Amino acid sequence: MGIFLVSTDFATGDILLSQNDSQEINIQVTIDRMEVDILQDLFGSELYDLFISDLAGTPEIPTTERFTDVFEPFLKDEDCPRLKSDGILRMLKRFIWAEHVRNQPASNTAVGMVQSVEQNSKHLTPAQYGWSPKYNEAVYTYSAIQAFMIRESDIYPEFKGICKDLSGVI
């Protein structure tokens, strides 16, 4: 089970994945595999452990200010460059969407996963189905959170996160 997300989080909104019984299981497998890895990369192992131990409630959310400051969306424009984060939950949804869709042998559509059988059909490239923009939006938030923690190193002295690059797919 993921820390924050479940497969039904991808059933509505603008970050959708096809949902049927087998797809729901596959989505949850992607969530379970990726959520911890993304957060460990974001924070580094020591700060990740502190973040996880700070979670409380149902649903679980951070309780101390230093973690709510990076968990929730923010806009910091007092310095250049301006830092904008859509929040950790939305960032995770975008990364997981991108990973799940990228690894599918068929096309993700509103009616489920489909595979072309007609001779004149072709599979779309990641650029054609919008993979790169969603992935890059996740990287922008990820990078903003890390830049904020670096700027506030006295509050986040345990930070040892790993940077992520934008997708080169256009």
Nearest-angstrom CA–CA distance, 15 and 93: 7
Nearest-angstrom CA–CA distance, 76 and 135: 22
Whole-model pTM: value is: 0.82
Q: Are 70 and 149 within 8 A, CB to CB?
A: yes
Instruction: Report whether pLDDT(74) > 50.
Output: yes
Instruction: Report whether pLDDT(160) > 70.
Output: yes
Helices (H), 4-79: 21-43, 45-53, 65-71
- Where are the domains positioned within the chain? 7-151
Handedness of CA 134, 136, 142, 144 (dihedral sign): negative
Q: Are 107 and 129 within 8 A, CB to CB?
A: yes
Alpha carbon 135 to chain centroid, angstroms: 8
pLDDT tens readout for residues 97-148: 888 877 665 555 555 555 555 555 555 555 555 677 888 999 999 999 999 9
- pLDDT > 90: what percent of the chain? 49
15-46 burial: b if 16+ Cβ within 10 Å, else e: bebbeeeebbebbbebbeebbeebbbbbbbee
pLDDT given for residue 127 in this prediction: 52
